[in-house]
Amino acid sequence: MRLAVFDANRLGIVVSGGSGDEIVDVTEALPWAHDPDPLTAGWWRALCRDFAHARPALERAAAQGPRRPAADVVLRTPALGPSKIVAAASNYREHVTEMHGVQERTLGRVESWMMEFDVFLKAPSSLVGPGAEVVLPAAVVAAGHEVHHESELVVVIGAGGRDIPPDSALDHVLGFTAGLDITVRSPADRSRRKSYDSFSPVGPWIVTRDEVGDGSGLDIRLTCGGEVRQAVSTDELIVSVPRIVAYASSVMTLLPGDLIFTGAPPGVGPIAAGEKLDMTVSRIGNLTVTVTEEVVR
Ligand code: MN
């Protein structure tokens, strides 16, 4: 099932129709009161936690409700008020190798601690949805720092938990979506470099786990101005999705609706104002954003 948030944070189910993707508004079928305010959207976290409970009513509504072309609605970030965005570092071998060159160029040295798999945090306020603008901060541009694209498979946590074993980690996953981990290359702290507003585009919707499996075997592809920049299979992940979830939960309690970026494939590189980033993950969908530069008045 494809779960979308659209327009005034309505809940939609995306179905394949004669003219392409169509969306059915299933908000009224939720077993909880809907609240469009992302700051108080407890319904969203309840849906992530208790999706199995809500699913039959949502499926009935999706089968009966009127369909609209998905292109006629505004898709929003399929994450409302997550407690955190966890992100994996150094999780594809070829990317780890390329980062030696990137760090020599942008830092003048190699930081060996950044070459090991680990997890870090991005600010949830950096989230934006499909079609959004990624805004390059004026101060970052003025300092001459490169800002890079990292196109990643993103895990959406369903039932949360802590100290989750790898063997049952998928029971805690609602589904998967696509995300761009936009990153400033500079000597600053990693969380700050990745937490500017608009630096976490996520979408276009969540595909539930039953349709995606364990997150392996998916093809990630990113083009910039029509040029292929990143193309990888998630089979290349050093630490698999279940093990990422288990590891993250050994550090911090995962809450329903939390997002986990699974790591950058090789091919990271600079973005500039005016460029269009077009990302596709097989079996999930397409996420497109445009790059702009902050205007200082
Ligand atoms: Mn990343």
- pLDDT at residue 17, as a whole number: 86
Q: Tell how far the Cα of 181 is from the centroid of ligand 1, in angstroms.
A: 5
- pLDDT at residue 225, as a whole number: 86
| Residues in the chain, pLDDT under 50 | none
Q: Tell how far the Cα of 142 is from the centroid of ligand 1, in angstroms.
A: 23
β-partners of residue 223 are: 228, 278
Q: Tell how far the Cα of 87 is from the centroid of ligand 1, in angstroms.
A: 6
209-233 residue pLDDT tens: 999 999 999 999 999 988 999 999 9
Topology adopted by domain 85-293:
Fumarylacetoacetate hydrolase; domain 2 (3.90.850)
Q: Tell how far the Cα of 263 is from the centroid of ligand 1, in angstroms.
A: 5
Q: Tell how far the Cα of 185 is from the centroid of ligand 1, in angstroms.
A: 12
The answer to whether the beta carbons of residues 145 and 184 sit under 8 Å apart is yes
DSSP output for 115-178: GS-EEEEE-GGGEE-TTPEEEEPHHHHHTT-EEEE-EEEEEEESS-BSS--GGGGGGGEEEEEE
Report the C-alpha gap between 195 and 193 in whole angstroms: 6
Domain residue ranges in the chain? 2-72, 85-293
- pLDDT at residue 18, as a whole number: 82
Q: Would you say the pTM of this structure is higher than 0.85?
A: yes
Residue 273 DSSP code = T
Task: Write out the H or E segment, with its range, that includes residue 87.
Answer: strand 85-89
Q: Considering only CA atoms, which of 248, 257, 267, 255 is closest in space to residue 152? A: 267
Q: Tell how far the Cα of 126 is from the centroid of ligand 1, in angstroms.
A: 14
Rounded to the nearest angstrom, the gap between the alpha carbon of residue 157 and the centroid of all alpha carbons in its chain is 12
Q: Tell how far the Cα of 199 is from the centroid of ligand 1, in angstroms.
A: 11
Report the C-alpha gap between 16 and 8 in whole angstroms: 23
Q: Tell how far the Cα of 28 is from the centroid of ligand 1, in angstroms.
A: 36
Q: Tell how far the Cα of 55 is from the centroid of ligand 1, in angstroms.
A: 31
Q: Tell how far the Cα of 182 is from the centroid of ligand 1, in angstroms.
A: 8
Is the torsion defined by CA of 188, 189, 190, 193 positive or negative? negative
- pLDDT at residue 241, as a whole number: 98
Q: Considering only CA atoms, which of 175, 176, 171, 145 is closest in space to residue 160? A: 171
Q: Which long-range contacts (CB under 8 A, 24 or more apart) does 104-107 make?
A: 106/145, 106/146, 106/185, 106/186, 107/185, 107/186, 107/187
Q: Tell how far the Cα of 163 is from the centroid of ligand 1, in angstroms.
A: 23
- pLDDT at residue 296, as a whole number: 87
